[in-house]
Structure 1
Amino acid sequence: MEVATGWVYGSVPPTPLPRASATPRAALDDAIRPALVAGRCYVTFSGGRDSSAVLAAATALARREGHALPVPITRVYGDLPETDESDWQRAVIDHLGLTEWIRLELGGGESDLLGPVARATLAQRGLLWPPALQTHGVLFQHLRGGSLLTGEGGDAVLGARRVTPLTGLLRTRRPDRALLKHAAYAVLPRPGRRRFARRASQASPQHRWLRPAAFEQHVRLLSADMAAEPLDYGAATRAIPRQRAFATIVHNHTAAAAEYGVRASDPLLDPRFVAALARFGGHTGLLGRTATMQALFSDVLPAAVLARTTKASFNRAHAGEATREFARTWDGSGVDEDLVDPEQLRRVWLSDRPTMATGVLLHSAWLASERAAV
């Protein structure tokens, strides 16, 4: 089911988080420091808020403690304007006073989910989630022997929680209708929240290729996860790294990088930082993503970066000509037809709105075609 939907459901068993006595920034420093002291340290840097926060925190820590400055590394897709964040990137680089910046100009299908890099690793590893990891060799090969920090998990860890609308009500004299609606949802019992979550889940892109019964199962699983979020900010924050999606990302990213001799870590998902943020936010937390960014990173990032609401899209970067050529000639094998409509899936791959959620299906289909050709 998870191959068909391109999503990982549920949570892993709880494990105790470290006792949080430090501030979130001090805990983040503790998560970042090993990468700085171990040698050359790189930070994947798109210009978005998450990667900017990690780069800024790492730079500030390096200067305070006398380590070599981290090196931002950016993947550039010159022919895809929706991926361009160069203005935001330059604003952050200039603000931090960094002079070394690696910009990888990707072409020739290097980022395509069926480009030469992805095919080589796919043949070696088999299926892997998230599927974009199959293309990361083009990045990792430049970093051999070094450490790599990412901003993975920032949207969730630094974002709003179920309790956030209630916090807004407490701090707003004249709440608008939308805030009242979200606050009412927050206090519903779980069955009521699940009904609302099911309604929201109906808009998920999986309806484009799943059979009706499979899509209904996807909605049921997704809405159950959404409705399980605790009301307490601290408890909800501590639950984020336990989501199987994030646990899988951290494990697979670390393992994939290690194949190239790269020590990769995701400090925004580090248990020390998560525990400190949960303690810092208390029961009610802050007023959402921007307020959290401002509370944690206003000393190291420009105000405009802290408050930005735009976000680049990279879906087309992973669905290039190699993917489209395979889709045109694909015989429909390699996917579970009880769950997936092959012709609808082909249309998604060939459309101008591809989605990474079909990436594992694409890889499964390609592996089946390779086996059939032997």
Structure 2
Amino acid sequence: MLRPIPYDICTGTMLGVGPPVRCAAATVADPLVALEQAVLPALRRPPCVVSFSGGLDSSLVLAAAVRVARREGLPDPVPVTWRFTGAPRADESAWQDRVVRALAVGGSWQVLSADDDLDLVGPVARRLLHRYGVLHPVNLHLHLPIVEIAAGGSLLTGLGGDQVLAGWRRPPPTSTRARVGRLRHDVRAWLRRRRLPLAGFPWLHPPVAREVHRAYRAEQRHEPRPLGARIDWHLRRRDLLLTCSAFGAVAADHDVTLIHPLLDGGFHTSLAERAGHRRHVSRDALVAEISGGSLPAEITWPRRKARFLEVFFRDPTRGFVASWDGTGVDPDLVDVAALRELWSRWPIPGGTAGLVQQLWLAANPPPPRPAPRVPANRSEPDTEVTW
């Protein structure tokens, strides 16, 4: 399993892109058909659970799975959804209800409720931290209860939507007024970037902050514009590779077949052949084109992107950072005094989430494993037991 290194955790970044790889030509010209082929192995290993948030990505995966299951005479997939108290910007319940009604899967739908449960160092995260240590992403524990529901079966996710379907640079303005507005925006952005090395990473020593900022900006500049090249680039980033590796390890420990259909090779090569030359398209327009009118309109309707910081930064994290004594961090990277000052206010910077988990785990190590039981009537010589 790939893990974040201390530099990743301290800086709150996950930088790095692997070398280009040669992709095989798409065997299916229609991206929706390719997506359906990607979900089929999961449906053949029930229970087939779908991590369903109600956003465009998970709705597309759920709709494809329902379509294939009913065509092939297989059990319906089981959507599993989190709902959160005290996190209004993460609320997608209206879209969840619409999609579930449109697909007629309400009978199998499982809704999980969370208050402080999914905090960075809350009860669910603690189980993951004690079993695996700090992983990337820091919110992977959100999927642990969903993986446990899927134990012995399969799990479909919408992972990859942010890399394959979103993140496009805005198209160039077409009117004089729009051009003036864009120019003003670009000037303000330039001024912010001038201050960002320190303002963006205020818990790091200034030379480290500048180094991280330069590397981050260099990686941003290398992101290709055409869809096909952009998909290939994102699939080679450490960010995604570590996510898939950690997620896969957790799933394997629960005997779960884990499939991310939006990262399927057949799907993204088919999509690249269909629209790989394009430079500007919205996420909802791309999802609608993939659907081709074959899926309910509720799947592809535009919707706002949910924000989940309120889900993971709750009372357990607030109490821990307030009590932190300043020990345990790498003093060559982190300015301890600056971090303590930042953590004295709420909310804390999102980039320090990995440090929260690392320091909490250091202060709360997992309990020792019980010694193996040896039968009292053993007659053979004792042998050393290793783990």
Task: Please state which band the TM-score falls in when normalised by the shorter chain.
Answer: 0.7 to 0.9
Find the counterpart in structure 2 of residue 190 from structure 1. Answer: none
C-alpha contact 1:315 1:355 (8 A) present in aligned 2? no
Mapped to 1, the partners of 2:281 and 2:140 lie a distance apart of 33
Find the counterpart in structure 1 of residue 318 from structure 2. Answer: 324
> Which one of 92, 101, 117 corresponds to residue 85 of structure 1?
92
SS class of match (1:334) = coil
> Which one of 59, 67, 70 corresponds to residue 60 of structure 1?
67
Q: Report which of the two has the higher share of helix.
A: 1
Mapped to 2, the partners of 1:94 and 1:233 lie a distance apart of 32
Find the counterpart in structure 2 of residue 226 from structure 1. Answer: 220
Find the counterpart in structure 2 of residue 29 from structure 1. Answer: 36
**Which deviates more from structure 2 when the two are superposed, residues 226-235 or residues 214-223?**
226-235
Mapped to 2, the partners of 1:58 and 1:360 lie a distance apart of 34
Q: Cα offset for 1:200?
A: 8.7
SS class of match (2:40) = helix
The residue correspondences of 1:1-374 to structure 2 (distance < 5 A) are: 1-22=7-28, 23-99=30-106, 100-107=108-115, 109-161=116-168, 165=171, 176-177=178-179, 199=193, 202=196, 206-285=200-279, 287-297=281-291, 298-302=293-297, 305-308=300-303, 310-346=304-340, 351-354=345-348, 356-370=350-364
C-alpha contact 2:48 2:153 (8 A) present in aligned 1? yes
SS class of match (2:301) = helix
SS class of match (1:136) = helix
Find the counterpart in structure 2 of residue 191 from structure 1. Answer: none
Letter in 2 for 1:68: P
Q: CA 1:30–1:179 in 2, change beyond 3 Å: closer, same or farther? A: farther
C-alpha contact 2:47 2:154 (8 A) present in aligned 1? yes
Find the counterpart in structure 2 of residue 189 from structure 1. Answer: none
SS class of match (2:328) = coil
SS class of match (2:79) = strand
C-alpha contact 1:131 1:356 (8 A) present in aligned 2? no
C-alpha contact 1:20 1:276 (8 A) present in aligned 2? yes
Q: After superposition, what is the alpha-carbon deviation per residue over 1:69-88, rounded to whole angstroms, capped at 9, x for unaligned? A: 11110112123222221111
SS class of match (1:104) = strand
Q: CA 1:312–1:178 in 2, change beyond 3 Å: closer, same or farther? A: farther
Mapped to 1, the partners of 2:275 and 2:190 lie a distance apart of 26
Mapped to 2, the partners of 1:165 and 1:5 lie a distance apart of 32
Q: Determine what percentage of the aligned residue pairs are the same residue.
A: 36
Q: CA 1:279–1:273 in 2, change beyond 3 Å: closer, same or farther? A: same
C-alpha contact 1:44 1:72 (8 A) present in aligned 2? yes
- The normalised TM-score by structure 1 is 0.84
**Which deviates more from structure 2 when the two are superposed, residues 110-119 or residues 172-181?**
172-181
**Which deviates more from structure 2 when the two are superposed, residues 337-346 or residues 58-67?**
337-346
Q: After superposition, what is the alpha-carbon deviation per residue over 1:221-252, rounded to whole angstroms, capped at 9, x for unaligned? A: 11111111234332222222111111111111
Q: CA 1:364–1:174 in 2, change beyond 3 Å: closer, same or farther? A: same
Mapped to 2, the partners of 1:144 and 1:248 lie a distance apart of 22
Mapped to 1, the partners of 2:342 and 2:310 lie a distance apart of 12
C-alpha contact 2:35 2:262 (8 A) present in aligned 1? yes
Unaligned 5+ segments in structure 1 are 186-194
Mapped to 2, the partners of 1:26 and 1:174 lie a distance apart of 42
C-alpha contact 1:41 1:70 (8 A) present in aligned 2? yes
Find the counterpart in structure 2 of residue 192 from structure 1. Answer: none
Mapped to 2, the partners of 1:196 and 1:317 lie a distance apart of 31
Q: Cα offset for 1:5?
A: 2.2
C-alpha contact 1:42 1:71 (8 A) present in aligned 2? yes
Mapped to 1, the partners of 2:343 and 2:261 lie a distance apart of 33
- The normalised TM-score by structure 2 is 0.81
C-alpha contact 2:198 2:206 (8 A) present in aligned 1? no
Mapped to 2, the partners of 1:86 and 1:14 lie a distance apart of 40
Unaligned 5+ segments in structure 2 are 1-6, 369-387
SS class of match (2:149) = coil
SS class of match (1:177) = helix
Q: CA 1:94–1:120 in 2, change beyond 3 Å: closer, same or farther? A: closer
Letter in 2 for 1:26: V
The size of the alignment, in residue pairs, is: 355
C-alpha contact 2:34 2:266 (8 A) present in aligned 1? yes
Letter in 1 for 2:321: A
Q: Cα offset for 1:356?
A: 4.5
Q: CA 1:213–1:20 in 2, change beyond 3 Å: closer, same or farther? A: same
